[in-house]
């Protein structure tokens, strides 16, 4: 016990010490671990303490902080828990002493096996198993069992020091070790901190030291004689102890009372007091009928409280009783805790870390003790998963595997409570069977054999044990249930079957097999970790196998650097954190539908794209609607020869999308008649199409007959024209310009139309793309009223048919979370029933009046002339008289019709312009009075770097491919031969370029090309100086070299590059590669010249040239990375032969970083040659975060048309980083589960096309 400490032992204890609050010396374990050769110093110091044997007086001084146990009774000193803070040197010293004392007690059996506190056993699990086994045995054998749980008042603080010394001497620890302990408890004192001050030193005259590593074992030795007296020589447990928590087990009330008297007497002798008010008793009778007799037990003269049926008390945290009511108050606190954490002001990654560090570890004890069912944990999982997706701004249909997959694969890595519950049940059963306490392991195996034997009705063999615990259904064949009681083995069996875990027994010793893993007794501590780790890996693999959400996630796991920011947010803005999760799962807002009119036909059929989308078309195949958003609930409604209607169901509305094509030479009235059977006034409608009509209302300078007819139809159908003529024509050819393509929307929802516009880009026809966004998420209830009676019977029948389902679920409600979910489901059901069976229509809106005095006079004139004409026909008047009166009547009637139509149209236009009530900006968009430039929510298809033009071009290329050998397409233009570009042409163009011209979609100014060349040269110079290596740089920019040679440059950027080159002196070589563009016979030189301008860096290192080019492909699975690398290798292979004479070897090095931050681990091989391993780790993280930043900014710029970065700031300051965007300014900060589809309209090939 008193032998000198070894350096190895001290080192291990120091490494395992968790960094806790420091003591009076303010030093933590981290400080001691940071001291060079600190473990050697500590070993020498501790051996000196053993030798004397004494410790420095400062080690005996502690600081005590008081923590309240509850919020009330703050004036009661007993309501405060003292926390003593000792010097870390003292705690390391006593840790080593405690380890030796632990080994000694285990080797010589100095502690009773009934004591599990502060021992290497799983005491909580084993004691609860013993208690449950005794209760089960009493019930099956119809016997009595009496139990008492005792509370010791201030047990650790009241144990006399002399009792500790006496116990150590009686146990035979030796005089020297006893002197060491006596010195630790001599002249000890503490100060209590309170109100920014401290009390005077308070001497410690009794009790073990709070917070001291050896205190627990010393307390166990101090009361060990009491445990041994109660246990005696009994083969079964009569007392269960976990430090000061005592549980007495008697076979009868008299037996238990005798034990209570003995414990009370022995405790009093050593100065410890039992607390009757916090002690409980329980008398269970297994005789039929099973009951809980109201027996009473005493501690001295006081009676302790009895536990009756349906009541419980907690022993080591687990409720114990007969038919106890589940303690769902504890369970609900878990949900409240998760809710508060996820709704707090912590950053998103801090919220996830708090869940992992605080919430889920707190659940493990409750799971291990089996206090709640898996269904309860599933409810908690549902609530947490929904909230976590909101924290990560993921939609509900995001793959759950991303939330629960392995962190090494780039997933979040949250535990699943229901799954953890199963794993803990299996782990608990395995640990009991393999316990190092032979008494426990034998009892567990015996109890298991009894359960299995009762099932198979014979003595259970190892094979029977394996089948039973594996959950094999074969063991249940032709056998009725024979386990009357659920125990640890039956619940572990069900859990094993659910998780597909196999058990294998060999001579009573178990092994677990999960997939290809075999877990033996020697790995009993790693069961939970091993199986949980494999399940997370399986989820990550399942995620990568998903055809849509797994494409980018296949590239992310290749390096942990790719997801370095998920756990801590390093080098990442909040706006990027909101963006990256959706981007990697390909869940950024996307195009919802495309409406195309007069499409190209291939062999009489329109092209069916390979998007996997739903397609709806008119009977004449002149209008086609493609629904791209798979989450939309869309249904075919009806179609006509020239139109098709799709019904969309989402949230609280039914929305109809009409896609129409009005042929230019067809009768307009016949075409309109196809839609007149539908009542537009009582529903929400979007009408898009190519109408081939002219009217001043939508941009033309005159009206035609078709335009007037369509205007009347629009006015009568409660529709609003969304077109803004100031945005330019929707049709433009070499000879005609017009506005034939319209977007019409029901007037009650025009407030929800956002960002209508015309894309000024090349399309596949003379028509242009039209886009817009409809935000129909929250339609106010005021927009509806219910017809009080119509459909109420149908509603009642529908509800009655499904009411039984909710009654059954209500009867099974077991906690508040379950009840809340039931009410939410019931509310959704009532909403669905109402919208399915009850008729709704928009509120009536103000009518406009077109009738005037001129119309009245004209109508009266027509009526009078008709009467005259009719009288002449009936009175046999002369033919001339009849014809004359008929001609006058028809002429008056035509004048009346013209006047009526023009008056109606004029009144409608005036009404739309001046309407000033609820929808007060009605037709402001038409007359360009809206001015709102909100975000255009158009998403990328695969590549977030694509512009809107790229995305639409990609989609339209699939709809209208070019000519092939098999297809016969119309409208294919004939393109003549193209003359080659000469160098003189390019020189003329470049001379005329203005450096100040605004950059295009690539964000590159003409001047930036020169700045990039200088920046690359400057980088090479800095690297050569830092590494003291010679390199040679190649550039085709003669202007860059001339700028460096100039003595009169006023550019700070150029002068800085010149200074860096001067510092490099003879380490840097600079070669100009002349560009032979367009000169015949110099094709290879042309290629090399072009490559020289596109290669990022060319380094010569150790007589070897490296051609370095950075590529940022989209993470379209690993094949995308490989294709990108192969393309770079192919591209620069032609340079190898040119550069090989200048070096011993030439190597092409593609540096691959995905557009969404996936880092290729193959990059490390080269980068380690030019930087240290530690800096490479930081460098790669910066590259990943920078790529994510640019991807987010480019995407947001595309959907909002708002500039997200200033390229001039980056050129002037290479260390510039974009500022953090405020959440209110970030279009991606809107809660994702509140977003609804975006609408984009496009104008088509032979006719318009519309994207939604």
Helix axes 1006-1027, 1052-1064, angle to 10 degrees: 30
Could you give the CA distance from residue 694 to residue 92 in angstroms, rounded to a whole number?
91
What percent of the chain stands above pLDDT 70? 77
> pLDDT band at residue 115, thresholds of 50, 70 and 90?
very high
Reading the block at residue 4, the tokens are 């000198």
**Do residues 189 and 84 touch, judged by C-beta distance below 8 A?**
no
pLDDT of residue 556: 94
Could you give the CA distance from residue 411 to residue 403 in angstroms, rounded to a whole number?
6
Lowest pLDDT segment from 172-181, 348-357, 794-803: 794-803
Q: How many CB atoms lie within 10 A of CB 454?
A: 14
- The set of residues, in sequence order, having a beta carbon less than 8 Å from that of 522 and lying 6+ positions away, is none
Could you give the CA distance from residue 402 to residue 277 in angstroms, rounded to a whole number?
51
- What average pLDDT does the segment 82-102 reach? 92
Residues making up the chain, counted from first to last: 1252
CA-based angle 176:178:182, to the nearest 5? 120
Q: When comparing pLDDT for 606 and 350, which is higher?
A: 350
Percent helix, strand and coil across the chain, each rounded to 5? Answer: 50, 15, 35
Could you give the CA distance from residue 1040 to residue 878 in angstroms, rounded to a whole number?
102
Mean pLDDT of the chain, nearest integer:
80
pLDDT, one tens digit per residue, over 370-388 is 888 888 999 999 999 999 9
The segment with the largest mean pLDDT, out of 62-76, 838-852, 993-1007, is: 62-76
Reading the block at residue 444, the tokens are 């567990």
**Do residues 946 and 940 touch, judged by C-beta distance below 8 A?**
yes
Handedness of CA 998, 1004, 1006, 1012 (dihedral sign): positive
What does the buried/exposed string (b/e) look like for 623-632 if buried means 16 or more CB atoms within 10 Å of the residue's CB? Answer: bbbbbbbeeb
Q: Coil, helix or strand for 364?
A: helix
Q: Which of 1041, 1050, 1019, 1012 is nearest to 1211 (CA)?
A: 1012
The segment with the largest mean pLDDT, out of 504-518, 861-875, 956-970, 996-1010, is: 504-518
**Do residues 749 and 1229 touch, judged by C-beta distance below 8 A?**
no
- What average pLDDT does the segment 207-227 reach? 93
Q: Which CATH number fits domain 593-772: 3.30.70.260, 1.20.1600.10, 3.40.50.720, 3.60.10.10?
A: 3.60.10.10
Q: Which of 666, 629, 667, 672 is nearest to 658 (CA)?
A: 672
3-state secondary structure 1139-1198: HHHHCCEEEEEEEEECCCCCECCCHHHHHHHHCCHHHHHHHHHHHHHHHHHHHHHHHHHH
Query: What is the per-residue DSSP string for 14-28?
Result: HHH-------TT---
Q: Is the peptide bond before 477 cis (omega within 30 degrees of 0)?
A: no
Could you give the CA distance from residue 924 to residue 1248 in angstroms, rounded to a whole number?
23
Q: When comparing pLDDT for 1049 and 5, which is higher?
A: 5
pLDDT, one tens digit per residue, over 1181-1195 is 999 999 999 888 888
pLDDT of residue 769: 81
Could you give the CA distance from residue 1108 to residue 1129 in angstroms, rounded to a whole number?
10
Q: How far apart are the first and last CA of the chain?
A: 80
pLDDT of residue 836: 65
- The set of residues, in sequence order, having a beta carbon less than 8 Å from that of 827 and lying 6+ positions away, is none
Whether this prediction's pTM lies above 0.85 is answered by: no
Could you give the CA distance from residue 1142 to residue 883 in angstroms, rounded to a whole number?
106
pLDDT of residue 1166: 93
Residue 905 in this model has a pLDDT that exceeds 50:
yes
Domain boundaries, the chain: 7-320, 416-475+485-525, 593-772, 784-842, 846-915, 1013-1072, 1096-1212
Pairing of the two strands 1068-1072 and 1031-1035: parallel
- The set of residues, in sequence order, having a beta carbon less than 8 Å from that of 197 and lying 6+ positions away, is none
Report the chain's C-alpha Rg in angstroms: 42
Q: Is 637 exposed, middle or buried (0-12, 13-18, 19+ CB in 10 A)?
A: middle
Pairing of the two strands 593-597 and 623-627: antiparallel
**Do residues 372 and 366 touch, judged by C-beta distance below 8 A?**
yes
DSSP summary character for residue 979: P
> pLDDT band at residue 629, thresholds of 50, 70 and 90?
confident
Q: When comparing pLDDT for 855 and 916, which is higher?
A: 855
pLDDT of residue 908: 62
Reading the block at residue 885, the tokens are 């009166």
Q: Coil, helix or strand for 602?
A: strand
- What average pLDDT does the segment 850-872 reach? 84
Write phi, then psi, for 315 (nearest 5 degrees). -115, 115
What does the buried/exposed string (b/e) look like for 853-879 if buried means 16 or more CB atoms within 10 Å of the residue's CB? Answer: eeeeebbebbeebbeebeebeeeeeee
> Tokens 């980068």 belong to which residue?
1167
**Do residues 1095 and 1123 touch, judged by C-beta distance below 8 A?**
no
Lowest pLDDT segment from 716-720, 776-780, 957-961: 957-961
Residue 998 in this model has a pLDDT that exceeds 50:
no
pLDDT of residue 18: 80
Could you give the CA distance from residue 232 to residue 1001 in angstroms, rounded to a whole number?
87
- What average pLDDT does the segment 205-220 reach? 92
- What average pLDDT does the segment 675-697 reach? 84
Could you give the CA distance from residue 1007 to residue 1015 in angstroms, rounded to a whole number?
12
Furthest-apart CA atoms within the chain: distance in Å: 151
pLDDT of residue 180: 94
Q: Is the peptide bond before 53 cis (omega within 30 degrees of 0)?
A: yes
Write phi, then psi, for 205 (nearest 5 degrees). -100, -15
> Tokens 């007993």 belong to which residue?
78
pLDDT of residue 1052: 65
Write phi, then psi, for 335 (nearest 5 degrees). -65, -40
Q: When comparing pLDDT for 623 and 196, which is higher?
A: 623
> pLDDT band at residue 765, thresholds of 50, 70 and 90?
confident
**Do residues 950 and 584 touch, judged by C-beta distance below 8 A?**
no
Residue 221 in this model has a pLDDT that exceeds 70:
yes
Could you give the CA distance from residue 400 to residue 933 in angstroms, rounded to a whole number?
35
Q: Coil, helix or strand for 42?
A: helix
**Do residues 457 and 482 touch, judged by C-beta distance below 8 A?**
yes
What percent of the chain stands above pLDDT 90? 37
Residue 1076 in this model has a pLDDT that exceeds 50:
no
> pLDDT band at residue 1200, thresholds of 50, 70 and 90?
low
Beta-bridge mates of residue 738: 731
């Amino acid at each position: 016990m008193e032998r000198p400490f070894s350096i190895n032992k001290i080192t291990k204890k120091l490494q395992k010490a968790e960094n806790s609050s420091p003591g009076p010396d303010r030093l933590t374990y981290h400080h001691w671990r940071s001291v060079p050769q600190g473990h050697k110093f500590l070993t020498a110091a501790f051996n000196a303490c053993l030798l004397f044997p004494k410790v420095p007086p400062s080690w005996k001084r502690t600081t005590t902080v008081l923590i309240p146990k509850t919020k009330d009774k703050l004036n009661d000193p007993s309501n405060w828990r003292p926390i003593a803070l000792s010097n870390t040197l003292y705690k390391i010293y006593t840790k080593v002493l405690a380890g030796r004392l632990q080994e000694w007690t285990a080797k010589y059996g100095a502690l009773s096996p009934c004591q599990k506190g502060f021992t290497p056993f799983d005491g909580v699990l084993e004691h609860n198993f013993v208690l449950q086994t005794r209760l089960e045995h009493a019930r099956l054998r119809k016997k009595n069992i009496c139990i008492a749980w005792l509370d010791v008042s201030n047990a650790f603080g009241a144990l006399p020091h002399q009792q500790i010394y006496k116990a150590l001497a009686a146990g035979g620890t030796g005089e020297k070790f006893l002197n060491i302990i006596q010195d630790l408890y001599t002249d000890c004192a503490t100060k209590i901190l309170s109100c920014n001050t401290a009390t005077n030193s308070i001497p410690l005259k009794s009790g073990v030291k709070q917070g001291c590593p050896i205190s627990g074992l010393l307390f166990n030795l101090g009361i060990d004689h009491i445990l041994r007296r109660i246990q005696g020589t009994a083969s079964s447990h009569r007392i269960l102890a976990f430090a000061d928590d005592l549980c007495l087990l008697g076979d009868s009330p008299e037996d238990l009372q005798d034990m209570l008297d003995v414990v009370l007497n022995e405790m009093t002798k050593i100065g410890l007091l039992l607390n009757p008010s916090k002690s409980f008793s329980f008398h269970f009778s297994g005789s039929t009928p099973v009951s809980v007799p109201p027996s009473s037990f005493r501690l001295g003269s006081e009676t302790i409280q009895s536990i009756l049926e349906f009541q419980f008390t907690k022993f080591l945290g687990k409720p114990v009783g007969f038919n106890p009511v589940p303690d769902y108050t504890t369970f609900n606190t878990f949900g409240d805790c998760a809710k508060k954490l996820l709704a707090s002001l912590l950053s998103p990654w801090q919220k996830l870390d708090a869940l992992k560090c605080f919430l889920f570890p707190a659940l493990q004890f409750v799971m291990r003790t089996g206090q709640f069912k898996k269904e309860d944990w599933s409810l908690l999982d549902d609530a947490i998963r929904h909230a976590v997706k909101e924290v990560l701004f993921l939609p509900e249909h995001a793959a759950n595997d991303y939330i629960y997959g392995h962190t090494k694969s780039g997933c979040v890595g949250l535990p699943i409570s229901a799954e953890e519950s199963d794993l803990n049940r299996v782990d608990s059963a395995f640990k009991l069977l393999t316990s190092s306490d032979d008494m426990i392991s034998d009892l567990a195996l015996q109890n298991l054999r009894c359960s299995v034997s009762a099932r198979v009705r014979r003595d259970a063999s190892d094979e029977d044990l394996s089948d039973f615990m594996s959950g094999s259904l074969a063991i249940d064949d032709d056998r009725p249930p024979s386990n009357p009681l659920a125990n640890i083995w039956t619940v572990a069996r069900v859990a094993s079957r659910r998780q597909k875990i196999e058990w294998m027994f060999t001579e009573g010793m178990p092994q677990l097999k999960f997939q290809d893993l075999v877990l033996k007794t020697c790995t009993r501590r790693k069961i939970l970790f091993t199986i949980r780790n494999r399940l997370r890996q399986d989820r990550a693999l399942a995620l990568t196998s998903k055809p849509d959400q797994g494409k980018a996630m296949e590239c992310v796991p290749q390096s942990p650097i790719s997801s370095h920011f998920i756990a801590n947010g390093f080098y990442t803005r909040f706006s990027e954190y909101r963006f990256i999760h959706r981007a990697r799962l390909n869940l950024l807002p996307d195009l919802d539908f495309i409406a195309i009119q007069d499409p190209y036909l291939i062999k009489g059929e329109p092209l069916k794209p390979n998007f996997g989308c739903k397609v709806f078309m008119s009977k004449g195949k002149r209008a086609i609607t493609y629904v791209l958003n798979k989450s939309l609930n869309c249904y075919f409604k009806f179609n006509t020869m020239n139109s098709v209607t799709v019904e969309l169901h989402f949230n609280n509305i039914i929305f109809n999308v009409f896609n129409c094509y009005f042929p230019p030479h067809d009768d307009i009235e016949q075409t309109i008649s196809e839609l007149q059977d539908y009542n537009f006034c009582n529903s929400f409608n979007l009408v898009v199409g190519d109408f081939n009509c002219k009217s001043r209302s939508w941009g033309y300078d005159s009206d035609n007959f078709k335009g007037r007819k369509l205007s009347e139809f629009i006015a009568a159908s409660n529709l609003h024209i969304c077109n803004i003529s100031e945005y330019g024509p929707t049709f433009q050819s070499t000879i005609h310009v017009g506005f034939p393509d319209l977007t019409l929307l029901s007037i009650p929802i025009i407030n929800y139309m956002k960002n209508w516009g015309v894309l000024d880009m090349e399309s596949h026809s003379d028509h242009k793309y039209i886009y817009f966004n409809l935000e129909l998420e929250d339609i106010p209830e005021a927009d509806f009223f219910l017809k009080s009676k119509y459909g109420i019977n149908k509603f009642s029948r529908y509800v009655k048919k499904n009411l039984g389902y909710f009654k059954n679920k209500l009867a099974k409600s077991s906690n508040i979370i379950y009840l809340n979910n039931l009410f939410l489901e019931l509310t959704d059901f009532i909403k669905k029933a109402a919208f399915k069976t009850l008729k709704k229509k928009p509120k009536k809106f103000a009518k406009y009046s077109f009738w005037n005095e001129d119309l009245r006079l004209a109508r009266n004139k027509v009526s009078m002339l008709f009467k005259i004409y009719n009288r002449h026909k009936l009175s046999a008047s002369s033919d001339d008289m009849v014809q004359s009166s008929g001609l006058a009547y028809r002429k008056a009637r035509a004048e009346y019709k013209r006047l009526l139509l023009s008056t109606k149209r004029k009144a409608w236009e005036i009404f739309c312009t001046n309407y000033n009530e609820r929808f007060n900006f009605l037709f402001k968009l038409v007359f360009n009075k809206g001015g709102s430039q909100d975000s255009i929510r158009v998403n990328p298809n695969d590549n977030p770097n694509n512009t809107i033009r790229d995305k639409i071009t990609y989609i339209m290329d699939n709809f209208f491919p070019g000519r092939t050998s098999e297809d016969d397409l119309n409208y294919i233009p004939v393109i003549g031969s193209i003359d080659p570009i000469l160098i003189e042409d390019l020189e003329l163009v470049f001379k005329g370029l203005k450096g100040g011209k605004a950059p295009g979609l690539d964000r590159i100014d003409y001047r930036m090309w020169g700045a990039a060349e200088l920046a690359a040269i400057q980088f090479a110079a800095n690297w050569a100086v830092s590494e003291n290596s010679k390199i040679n740089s190649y550039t085709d920019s003669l202007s860059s070299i001339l700028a460096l040679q100039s003595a009169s440059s006023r550019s700070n950027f150029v002068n800085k590059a010149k200074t860096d080159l001067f510092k490099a002196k003879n380490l840097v070589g600079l070669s100009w590669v002349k560009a032979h563009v367009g000169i015949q016979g110099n094709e290879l030189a042309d290629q090399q010249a072009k490559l020289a301008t596109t290669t990022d860096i060319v380094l010569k290192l150790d007589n070897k040239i490296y051609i370095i080019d950075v590529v940022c492909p989209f993470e379209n699975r690993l094949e995308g990375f490989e294709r990108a690398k192969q393309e770079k290798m192919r591209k620069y292979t032609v340079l190898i032969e040119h550069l090989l004479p200048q070096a011993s070897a030439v190597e092409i090095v593609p540096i691959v970083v995905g557009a969404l931050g996936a880092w290729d681990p193959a990059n490390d091989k080269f980068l380690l040659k030019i930087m240290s391993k530690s800096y490479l780790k930081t460098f790669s993280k910066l590259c990943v975060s920078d790529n994510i930043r640019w991807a987010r900014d480019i995407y947001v710029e595309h959907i909002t048309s708002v500039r997200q970065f200033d390229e001039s700031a980056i050129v002037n300051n290479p260390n510039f980083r974009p500022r953090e965007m405020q959440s209110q300014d970030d279009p991606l900060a809107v809660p994702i589960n509140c977003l609804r589809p975006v609408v984009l309209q496009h104008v088509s090939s032979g006719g318009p096309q519309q994207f939604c």
